[in-house]
């Protein structure tokens, strides 16, 4: 014999179903607190735009002469009037010789970021890797990778603090800096370290992952920022070196290879 549910339970189930469908479309019901999300039409448009300019990009900074002004990048400073200082320098022992990229930040304020952002590349779901080195062990340098940059006051970053032995995922919105996640690190006994940051989508949830020296250390969910540029940053008074910057979109409307001829 079948059993009928009380009318009150039918109403609850109906409200839950409607709320779920609204959230899937990026609409938040009144009274529900949530992070604004892109709808499916916006995501599809962003997938197409992120493929512009080619899929795979690698910068070794070896095509420019030491001391030359960097081409193909824009520089920004947040929280300070200090001058940006990103320079190409010769180094025979670089991971990708003969050049490396040096950052000499002179920020004196508590919240100060210097950004170096690749021009004309916009990724919805990027995968970015770089090799980095702190010239003075035990110093106060902090730096890493930027993704989802919409302008110099709206971006995500993976920041390595080798002196404090930790890595953070931060979100910058205007003058508000939110630490979405942080964890302790045990750096390998090497001169050059590896850092990787990507943003993926799993069952309608956007996940940011950070790898340091080949290990997955952080995985956080956030959907505040969507399509954006990628690059590097240093924070505070940070002498840091970079080499072999790679960027690729995890999703694209453009095929990686030609279709088979059959």
Taking the CA atoms of residue 196, residue 201, residue 205 and residue 211 in that order, the dihedral angle to the nearest 10 degrees is -10
SS3 192: coil
- pLDDT above 60: residue 153: yes
148: confidence class by pLDDT, cuts 50, 70, 90: very high
Residue 13 confidence (pLDDT) = 45
- Output b/e per residue, 42-68; b: 16+ Cβ within 10 A: ebeebbeebbeeeeebebbbeebeeee
Residue 6, CA distances (Å) to 10, 14, 202 in order: 7, 13, 36
Q: Residue 77 in contact with residue 115, Cβ under 8 Å? A: yes
C-alpha closest to that of 228 among 76, 110, 104: 76
Residue 25 confidence (pLDDT) = 42
Reported residue count of the chain is: 262
Distance CA 99, CA 92 (A): 7
The DSSP bridge pattern shows strands 205-212 and 193-202 to be antiparallel
Q: Domain coordinates of the chain in residue numbers?
A: 7-33, 47-249
Bond into 151 cis (ω within 30)? no
The arithmetic mean of pLDDT across residues 129-141, rounded, is 75
Distance CA 35, CA 16 (A): 18
What is 214-233 written as a DSSP string?
A: TEEEEEEE--S--SBEEEEE
163: confidence class by pLDDT, cuts 50, 70, 90: confident
Tens-place pLDDT, residues 103-116: 877 776 657 888 99
What is the percent of the chain where pLDDT is above 90?
A: 40
**Most confident stretch, 3-17, 24-38, 128-142, 160-174:** 160-174
C-alpha closest to that of 132 among 12, 16, 252, 244: 244
Residue 134 confidence (pLDDT) = 82
Residue 140 confidence (pLDDT) = 62
Residue 30 confidence (pLDDT) = 37
What is 24-89 written as a DSSP string?
A: HTT---TT--------HHHHHHHHHHHTTT-S-EEE-S-SS-TTPPPSSEEEEEES--PPP-EEEE
Distance CA 110, CA 95 (A): 32
Identify the weakest region by mean pLDDT among 113-117, 233-237, 241-245, 253-257. Answer: 253-257
For domain 47-249, give the fold: Jelly Rolls (2.60.120)
Identify the weakest region by mean pLDDT among 2-6, 71-75, 97-101, 239-243. Answer: 2-6
229: confidence class by pLDDT, cuts 50, 70, 90: very high
Distance CA 72, CA 120 (A): 8
């Amino acid at each position: 014999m079948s059993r009928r549910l009380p009318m009150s339970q039918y109403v609850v189930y109906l409200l839950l179903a409607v709320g779920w469908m609204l959230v899937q479309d990026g609409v938040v019901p009144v009274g529900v607190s949530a992070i604004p999300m892109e709808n499916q039409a916006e995501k599809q448009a962003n997938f197409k735009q992120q493929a512009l300019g080619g899929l795979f990009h690698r910068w070794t900074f070896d095509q420019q002469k030491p001391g030359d002004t960097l081409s193909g990048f824009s520089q920004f400073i947040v929280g300070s009037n200090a001058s940006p200082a990103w320079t190409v320098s010769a180094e025979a022992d670089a991971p990708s010789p003969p050049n490396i990229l040096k950052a000499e930040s002179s920020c004196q304020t508590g919240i100060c970021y210097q950004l170096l952002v690749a021009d004309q590349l916009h990724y919805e779901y990027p995968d970015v890797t770089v090799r980095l080195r702190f010239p003075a062990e035990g110093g106060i340098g902090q730096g890493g990778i930027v993704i989802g940059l919409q302008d110099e006051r709206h971006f995500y970053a993976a920041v390595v603090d080798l002196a404090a032995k930790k890595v953070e995922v931060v979100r910058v919105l205007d003058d508000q800096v939110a630490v979405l996640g942080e964890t302790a690190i045990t750096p390998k006994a090497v001169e050059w370290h590896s850092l990787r940051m990507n943003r993926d989508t799993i069952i309608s949830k956007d996940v940011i992952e950070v790898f340091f020296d080949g290990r997955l250390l952080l995985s956080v969910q956030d959907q505040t920022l969507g399509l954006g540029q990628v690059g590097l940053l240093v924070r505070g008074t940070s002498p840091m070196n970079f080499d072999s910057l790679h960027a690729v979109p995890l999703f694209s409307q453009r095929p990686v290879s030609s279709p088979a001829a059959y």
